[in-house]
Structures are given as structure tokens and as C-alpha cells.
Amino acid sequence: MDRKVSWILKELGLWKTLMVVMILRLPFDSLNAILGANLLERFLRLIQTKGRDELPSAFWTFLLFTVLLFAYNATVWSLISVKANLLLHRKLREKILQSMLDRNGQEMEQYSAGDWITRINADADRTAGYLMEPLNLMHAAIATCNLIVSFVILVMLNVTMLAFTLLVMVPFFILSSIVIIRKVPYYKRNAQEAYAAYTNWMEPVANAGETIRIFDGEDIALEKIEETSLKIMAENRKAHKLGAWSMFFNVLSGTFGYLLLLLMGNSMMGTGIRDFAQLMKITQYRGQMMLGVMCVNNCINRMKTNLTGAERVYEVLATGEGEQ
């Protein structure tokens, strides 16, 4: 978690709440992966040994565990996580508004009207998005837990498969998650600042359009609106382009992983792997590792995007507290 986001959480008094929600949601993907891998292995082994009589009991057992697991996740999501998310949004906006009310006129003029509107709306949403909305900090933690659990199980099942999986996975992860998207926050911050300028020009056009026309200022206002609008689009396009390249290398990593599996699977039968059922179980955990890496990668991309909003919120709250 970024230091500034951590500071905001402590200021809101929601640090412990977020940690509780994260701990409660953390095991779902890992348990679901373990359940799915063992289910596949069990069914394939029963089919191989022609144990048809045991198939119904195995099916109902796994169905029961699946229902319980998803019921747990739905309960945590609906009763705790959603309420915590709404509480975060409310407290964040209240804190920014209070920071505005505590300032004198000179301090208020530090930011333009459009800047204040952007910070209390879009930037507050980005800050909450960094923490709890899909493909951000919460999902990055869940995917990381699943990745670690799958890694440990693969160590016990087949070290060779794990080594080749890491060989394919790590370089692509570094390239897509660290090298390619390092400038995304810079472009997103430029877009947010341009949006504030856009709001500053739109407000007089909406509220004093007749006056602007009387003084022949319509062309100037429209020109400025077009200029800021094009800048927003240009900066967002740069960020989206980097995100697309990051996703491309994610997909490439997964494709290479499956090709590697096809090359290795047959040669490993009878040596590191005793039968087809165990091979399928191992591939499930290998797939979970790849899925975990791709999810973490996407989360890092989204977190870097939303961090621009969190930094602007921190800027307001910290100056209000006299910390900057």
C-alpha cells in the first residue's frame, strides 16, 4: 500500500476496518483453487479406475463444499465489504469538505473551483477505488495469497513444473508490471489537472453564457474548453496505450506457459508425475499461479492509475493538517 493512502486511511479511522475486510476475503481464491484442483483429480481418477459407484458421493461432497465456500464469500461481500466501501466513500468526502470549511479565503484560493470539485468527486472516487473496488488493492492481496498458496503446493507436487513456470512468468511480469506502466501515474495526473481546468472553463459557460456572448468571449471560452478537452484525451490515450501493452505481455506469458506445458507434459508422465489425473491437478495450480500473476499485474496497473487521485486527496488533507 502506498504511504499516502495509508496516511489517509489512518486519518479517516478506517485502517483496522479495511484490514478486517481484507483478512476475511483473503482465503477465497486459494480455497477455491484447492477445491477445483482436487475435484478434477478425484473425478479423473474415478473414471480411470471405473469407480462409477463413488462418482455420485464425490460429486455431492464437492458440491457441498463449493456452496459453503461461495456462501461465505457472498456473506462477507454483501454484509461487510460493501458497507465498508460505502463508509469509506462517505468519510472521505466528509474529510475533504471539512478541510475546505476549515480554510480561510486566502487558503481556499490556493485551488480553483474546478480543482476543488475534481478533488471532492473524481479524486475521492479514485482513492476509494485504489483500496476496495475491483482490480485494486483488495484484489491484489487476494490474488497474491492465491499465488503463494499455489506456489507452495507446486513445490510439494512437482518442482520441475514450478521452475519452468517461473521461468516463463517472472520476466513477463517484470516487463509488464514494472517497466511498461511506470509512467501511467504521470499521464493520469496530467489528465486530472487538465480536467480541473476544463471544469473551470465550463462553469462560466454554463452559468454566464449570455454575458460571455455580450462581451464576445464565446470563441475564447470554447477554444479553451476544446484545448483542455483534447489534453485530457491525449493524456488518457497515452496511459491506455501503456495499459494495452501491459495486457499484451500478460496474454503472451499465459500462451507461452501453455505451450511449455504441452512440451513438458508427455515427457514427465511416469517420472515426476504418476498419471494423467495428477498431471491435471498440477496444471490447475500452474494455471492459478498464472492467473494470480495476471490479476496482480492488472491490479498494479489500476492502482497506479487511481494513485493519482489519492495523491491529490492527500495534498488537500495534509495541507489542511499543516503537514506539507
127-178: per-residue pLDDT in tens? 888 887 777 888 888 888 888 888 888 888 878 777 777 877 778 777 777 7
Higher pLDDT, 226 or 204: 226
Beta bridge partners of residue 269, listed in sequence order: 273
Higher pLDDT, 17 or 217: 17
260-276: per-residue pLDDT in tens? 766 766 666 555 666 77
Position 159 scores a pLDDT of 80
Answer yes or no: are the C-beta atoms of 302 and 135 closer than 8 Å: yes
Of residues 147, 73, 187, 129, the one with CA closest to residue 296: 147
CATH top class, domain 3-320: mainly alpha
Q: How confident is the model at residue 323 (pLDDT cuts 50, 70, 90)?
A: very low
Global confidence as pTM = 0.71
Report domain extents, the chain: 3-320
3-state secondary structure of 236: helix
Those residues whose C-beta lies under 8 Å from the C-beta of residue 169, and which sit 6 or more positions away, are 253, 257, 289, 290, 293
